[in-house]
Amino acid sequence: MIELQSVSKQYGGLVALDDVSLRIDRGEFVFLVGPSGAGKSTLVKLLICEEKPTSGKILVADRNITKLKPDELPYYRRKVGVVFQDFKLLPQKTVWENVAFALEVCGATSLEIMDRVPKILDLVGMLKRRDNLPQELSGGERQRVSIARGLIHNPKILIADEPTGNLDPVNAWEIVDLLCKINSRGTILIFATHNKQIVDRLKKRVILLKDGKLVSDRIKGGYAI
């Protein structure tokens, strides 16, 4: 469903990605690993069309997303959920309002919002905290809200960029378990991380980047940097 064909990305004289080719099929769980500066964040930006490659193609469901027109981007991005390390929640909005806002900006009706939001909050275990503000939540709870927001459009792909980076071990594993649950429902899960312990324990596919190059693509098992 996702295919990179000889993708490179340069920022002036800096090569962030260098001739990367890979394929991720429907329903896969993939770890994206590598040292800082390896190209993980650049790859994430390309997949959400925040950046365009210098060369190469990126196909999602057989469509070249590097050729999307500006008015096509919002629809595409609704099909790709993103979860960030720093949550990116709106501090003045409640849990419910943070998740509902992602629907409101896309023109969803009140009935659609009332139908979708409680289902997603229940899925991530945050329905009872619907009226709380972000500052009233733990780090793990805030990440659950972030995941709920990423899922609100029922995306086919969910990209988690260091989703456990700011969490203690207990909350980190709860988030990992939740992401595994979401993946089991058929969503492609791309999990960018530095956490070797999580990668080693789950034994999923591991894509290793170094200096912008894809140096290893293992179906199962851990990795070494």
Q: What CA–CA distance (Å, rounded) separates 159 from 80? A: 7
Are the beta carbons of 5 and 180 closer than 8 angstroms?
no
Report the pLDDT value the prediction gives residue 36, as an integer from 0 to 100: 87
Angle between helices 110-123 and 139-151 (to 10 degrees): 130
Tokens of 158: 């969910």
φ, ψ at 136 (rounded to 5°) = -95, 0
Cβ neighbours for 145, distance < 8 A, ≥ 6 positions apart: 87, 89, 95, 98, 99, 124, 126, 134, 137
Q: Please, what sign has the CA dihedral across residues 90, 127, 199, 5?
A: negative
Report the pLDDT value the prediction gives residue 222, as an integer from 0 to 100: 59
Task: Give the other-Cβ count within 10 Å of 213's Cβ.
Answer: 16
Are the beta carbons of 128 and 68 closer than 8 angstroms?
no
For CATH 3.40.50.300, the residue range(s) in the chain are 1-79+156-225
Are the beta carbons of 47 and 159 closer than 8 angstroms?
yes
Q: Looking at this protein, which amino acid is placed at residue 89?
A: L
Report the pLDDT value the prediction gives residue 107, as an integer from 0 to 100: 87
The CATH homologous superfamily to which domain 1-79+156-225 belongs is P-loop containing nucleotide triphosphate hydrolases (3.40.50.300)
φ, ψ at 86 (rounded to 5°) = -100, 20
Structure confidence by residue, pLDDT tens digits, 53-91: 999 999 999 999 999 999 999 889 888 999 988 888 999
Report the pLDDT value the prediction gives residue 192, as an integer from 0 to 100: 94
Q: What is the chain written as a DSSP string?
A: -EEEEEEEEEETTEEEEEEEEEEE-TT-EEEEE-STTSSHHHHHHHHTTSS--SEEEEEETTEEGGG--GGGHHHHHHTEEEEETT----TTS-HHHHHHHHHHTTT--HHHHHHHHHHHHHHTT-GGGTT--GGGS-HHHHHHHHHHHHHTT--SEEEEESTTTTS-HHHHHHHHHHHHHHHHTT-EEEEE---HHHHHHH--EEEEEETTEEEEEESSS----
pLDDT tens by residue, the chain, 225 residues = 999 999 999 999 899 999 999 999 999 999 999 998 899 999 999 999 999 999 999 999 999 999 999 999 988 988 899 998 888 899 999 999 999 999 998 888 999 999 999 999 999 999 999 999 999 999 999 999 999 999 999 999 999 999 998 899 999 999 999 999 999 999 999 999 999 999 999 999 999 999 999 999 997 655 554
